[in-house]
Structure 1
Amino acid sequence: MSKEVKNKKANANKINREKKTLLHHSGSRPFSYRMEAIQKWGSKFPEIDVFADVYVRPWDKLTKSLHATMVEKGQLILKESASQLPSDTPIESVDPPEDAGFHILIETLDQTFGRRPGTYCRGMGNARWRES
């Protein structure tokens, strides 16, 4: 490969990196492995916890704000689910609806960044499809 072609590719990569709004810090470990591990720990919203693990860093105000919004929405869903159970039911024992964390994550990111064309949500594991 010639030096000119390498420089062209390097410049294109630099431009593409600068366009990114969220930078992940997860290394080469697949997101699906992280999801499995967090689910084993008993997380009620594993997608939100994976987002925190992979994207949130102390100096990044945007990702901290997004995560806080997601956690707040998750707590509202748990409270709503708990309100349909007997009043002495602790909120820790309430299970959210299936895929609630995924919908919270997608809704929050769509509201912040807008929806991209297509239905597949990259990075959230195999066979995760958005509703049209």
Structure 2
Amino acid sequence: MNQSELSPIEKAIAKKIDKTKNKANQPGYLRKLVAKLHLKIESALARGCEYDDLAQSITETGVKISAATLKQYHTEYRRQLDKEAGEISETVDSVLPSEKPEENKAEVLVSSSQTDVKQSAIDKLFAQK
């Protein structure tokens, strides 16, 4: 279909479509893309792929990214996840009671009941004499 067959509204839409920005050129897009693909990237790296291979695959789809940029963004995102996981772990530890005092209480209860049993046996022996 050529331009002469388009209605005025269709021509206006076509102009708007032509003026839309490539997402890859928008600020922060590559960082967001790497974050979304984080698990896939991790999996590929675990299989022995290198950042060069991954960057080339991404570039072949039309989103230009260098291996160095991919590695930088991926490493930064990984560090961010590790930091957040550490913060969550610290929060959980501070909110939940530790198990050690409970274990100590159980030991104290067992040893005090054993002491009570021993004392009671001793009392019975001396009471009979």
TM-score (normalised: structure 1): 0.27
* Structure with greater helix percent: 2
Whose RCO is larger (CA < 8 A, sep 6+)? 1
TM-score (norm 2): 0.27
Larger of the two Rg values belongs to structure: 2
